[in-house]
Structure 1
Amino acid sequence: MAEEFLRIDKLVKTFGGNQVVKGVDLSFNKGEFVSLLGPSGCGKTTILRMIAGFERPDSGRILVEGKDISGLAPNQRKIGMVFQAYALFPNMNVADNIGFGLKIAGMPKPQREARIEEMLQLIGLSGYGKRYPFELSGGQQQRVALARALAPSPRMLLLDEPLSALDAKIRVSLREQIRQIQRELGITTVFVTHDQEEALSISDRIVVLNTGNVEQFGQPFEIYNRPQTRFVATFVGTLNTLNATVADAGAKTVTLGGTTVTIPALPASARNGEAVALTMRPEAVSLANGATRDIVLDGKVAEVSFLGSVIRLKVDLGDNAVNLDTFNDQRTPPPAHGAPVRIGIASSDVLVLER
């Protein structure tokens, strides 16, 4: 059974009459990597700053290993934090930046130097100790910021959108390094991001936030494939929405594009003649020969987007349109713009969201 490490209990925070965190309850396990995911203004950074002690909650508690730390100053919490801006001291070299917290804590010089070298090896920058921040790339500077946060051996690591200033290729490489280091140290980590791919790729679990509320908390597979609210379904990944009409609620059938199809996920509250929104991910839609899926619809290619390993087609279905992803096959070019196509959808992949 997983051991609880961090508990956020009914946390509330208001700025200027605007409640940005609205009674949030969360529980994180020891050694877990959890991402707080959501759009700007959803409260994710405010929650992180309250965990760190840089903001005080209006009400609620923050407990670490069962002890309430809500009233402690940041330097009493034994928490390391990496900011969006690297915040390295420009007048200090890499070694002094990493060892700054150790020096303030009074660690003797020999032990401090050994710890700095250990951190340089951990982040893959051995031999860079005498360089200054301006001599490093953005990715290297962020690794130094990570080493500085980890040097005092904190019991928890907080990361506030640490990759947002980097280009795409470096972001992917550095997030993999961060995850590898986190696993190696076994440190409980809370990671703030608005990048869905980032959260899905490196998290043990994800908290999806919207306007100060938790919309869903679960593993990446659950968040993506089984969204519990319309917001989660539309915010995380790309979603197709097809308008349909309930034909027979008892039989769970709907009329879609002049065809009657069975939708297992049709809710019990549906009523005959009611308009419903059927949703599915682009990868759940395929070009079909009429026999591969139980929902088959005819349409016309409206757009072709080449995305490298994946080609995304937008297919006009008349009253609806749908995006589908297909792998790039060098031997088979995608259908041309305007070409007639037949698409297939498995009814088991269809979700029905509240309107």
Structure 2
Amino acid sequence: MAAFLEVNNLTKTFGTTTVVKSVNFAFDKGEFISLLGPSGCGKTTILRMIAGFEHPTSGSIKVDGQDITGLKPNQRQLGMVFQAYALFPNLNVGDNIGFGLKIAGMPAEQRRARVDEMLKLIGLPGFEKRYPYEMSGGQQQRVALARAIAPRPRMLLLDEPLSALDAKIRVSLREEIRAIQLELGITTVFVTHDQEEALSISDRIVVMNNGNIEQLGAPHEIYNKPATRFVATFVGHLNTIEATVLDAAARTVAIDGQTVTVSALPASAASAAPISLTLRPEVLAVGPRDGNDITLTGTISDVTFLGSVIRLRVALGRNIISLDTFNDQRTAPPARNEPITISLASKDLLVL
């Protein structure tokens, strides 16, 4: 079965600067796709090319088998939600949601019914007479979402729609967006620089850097099996440990004078050579744990209370690593400058 959204060799150059470099990806109908990366990586430019607001320097875009590369935005049957809401301030909520329907020539009675349907979908029934200035940012963004999906577009494009909202509203609204997307079964492309957002609501994630795709995969693949150093450091919190190979054949390395055996070393690893290792904070344990075959000793250099989680920074020597432990209300958290023994499984200590 052919992919629903196909991007082939997509390139965009502004003057002498190439911001999107021969990008390729394909997604199935109904998928929720996130374009994730830092500012300036090209993710928003890709979204704007899909929407028709930017024309590719080269390459093609297909939706449901149709080449839309040369079509105008209003010919593509796509819905777009912007970061800044972009509601018409002189129109009430009902007229904002129904604007695209009116332009398309839908009769007034059908239009009202569709607006009512959209208000129920976004959890704002009875708000049709309000104006944008009478609503919170989260409510305005819900209206913008309803306006985008009211004409029943083939695909929904979201350009960092939550970045202007406060943290609590952002979390609840992203969950609502995902629930609505699943209910409608609409293919969605979501642009964000927030790793947690992308990991929590996506079917697949495209991690971008400097105009290129670094990795494409499901959230658990992106987080647990990063393909490049950039993905490993950009997605989630990652400890990077500088070590020295002691015996390549035996897979032993020294971490600040402490000898450990890793599960694998690259074929190019040579004894006495420096090497970089990585591990996530959550795979570390305070003290022994079943299945952990590596122990390290160090000193607590910092303690950060994060509510349900306490993040410890442990100095092993020149390496300082973070680990997360659950908050236990019955015991006081560890203190700075305390000695500590931590453990981990060798399979979780990855070589960059």
Is this a same-fold pair by TM over 0.5?
A: yes
The 4+ residue runs of structure 1 with deviation greater than 6 A are none
Match for 1:311: what amino acid?
I
Q: In structure 1, the residue corresponding to 2:88 is in which secondary structure?
A: coil
Distance 1:186 1:28 in 2: 14
* Matched-pair contact (CA < 8 Å) for 2:78–2:155: yes
- Counterparts of 1:149-168 in structure 2 under 5 Å? 149-168=148-167
Deviations 1:187-221 (A, max 9, x none): 00000000000000000010000000000000110
Match for 1:347: what amino acid?
S
Distance 1:295 1:346 in 2: 6
Q: CA deviation at 1:300?
A: 0.7
Q: In structure 1, the residue corresponding to 2:4 is in which secondary structure?
A: strand
- Counterparts of 1:182-197 in structure 2 under 5 Å? 182-197=181-196
- Counterparts of 1:23-102 in structure 2 under 5 Å? 23-102=22-101
Q: CA deviation at 1:291?
A: 7.5
* Matched-pair contact (CA < 8 Å) for 1:265–1:350: no
Decide whether aligned partners of structure 1 residues 186 and 292 sit closer, same or farther in structure 2, where only a CA change above 3 A counts.
closer
Distance 2:56 2:298 in 1: 54
Deviations 1:142-182 (A, max 9, x none): 00000000000000000000000000000000000000000
Distance 2:197 2:271 in 1: 41
Q: CA deviation at 1:290?
A: 8.4
TM-score, with structure 1 as normaliser? 0.97
Q: CA deviation at 1:51?
A: 0.2
2:266 corresponds to which residue? 267
Distance 2:342 2:259 in 1: 16
Distance 2:256 2:290 in 1: 18
2:197 corresponds to which residue? 198
Q: In structure 1, the residue corresponding to 2:118 is in which secondary structure?
A: helix
Match for 1:108: what amino acid?
P
Match for 1:42: what amino acid?
C
Q: In structure 2, the residue corresponding to 1:103 is in which secondary structure?
A: helix
**Unmatched 5+ stretches in structure 2:** none
Match for 1:343: what amino acid?
I
Q: CA deviation at 1:228?
A: 0.6
* Matched-pair contact (CA < 8 Å) for 1:257–1:297: no
**Unmatched 5+ stretches in structure 1:** none
Match for 1:165: what amino acid?
A
Q: CA deviation at 1:246?
A: 1.1
* Matched-pair contact (CA < 8 Å) for 1:95–1:116: yes
- Counterparts of 1:241-256 in structure 2 under 5 Å? 241-256=240-255
Q: CA deviation at 1:257?
A: 2.7
* Matched-pair contact (CA < 8 Å) for 1:103–1:112: yes
Deviations 1:268-291 (A, max 9, x none): 221111100110001111111488
| Percent of pairs with identical residues | 70
Distance 1:189 1:333 in 2: 45
Bigger mean CA offset, 249-258 vs 77-86 = 249-258
1:322 corresponds to which residue? 321
Deviations 1:4-59 (A, max 9, x none): 10010000001121100000001111100000000000000000000000000000
Match for 1:272: what amino acid?
S
TM-score, with structure 2 as normaliser? 0.98
2:294 corresponds to which residue? 295
Q: In structure 2, the residue corresponding to 1:4 is in which secondary structure?
A: coil
What root-mean-square deviation, in Å, do the aligned CA atoms of Structure 1 and Structure 2 show?
Answer: 1.2
Q: CA deviation at 1:312?
A: 0.2
Q: In structure 2, the residue corresponding to 1:324 is in which secondary structure?
A: strand
Distance 2:290 2:253 in 1: 20
Decide whether aligned partners of structure 1 residues 259 and 85 sit closer, same or farther in structure 2, where only a CA change above 3 A counts.
same
1:219 corresponds to which residue? 218
Distance 2:288 2:76 in 1: 61
Q: CA deviation at 1:3?
A: 5.4
Q: In structure 1, the residue corresponding to 2:313 is in which secondary structure?
A: strand
Q: In structure 2, the residue corresponding to 1:184 is in which secondary structure?
A: helix
Distance 2:112 2:263 in 1: 63
* Matched-pair contact (CA < 8 Å) for 1:302–1:337: yes
* Matched-pair contact (CA < 8 Å) for 1:100–1:148: yes
Deviations 1:279-328 (A, max 9, x none): 00011111114886211111111000000110000011112111000000
* Matched-pair contact (CA < 8 Å) for 1:292–1:344: no
Q: CA deviation at 1:251?
A: 2.3
1:178 corresponds to which residue? 177
Q: In structure 2, the residue corresponding to 1:114 is in which secondary structure?
A: helix
Bigger mean CA offset, 146-155 vs 251-260 = 251-260
Decide whether aligned partners of structure 1 residues 292 and 143 sit closer, same or farther in structure 2, where only a CA change above 3 A counts.
same
Distance 1:33 1:173 in 2: 17
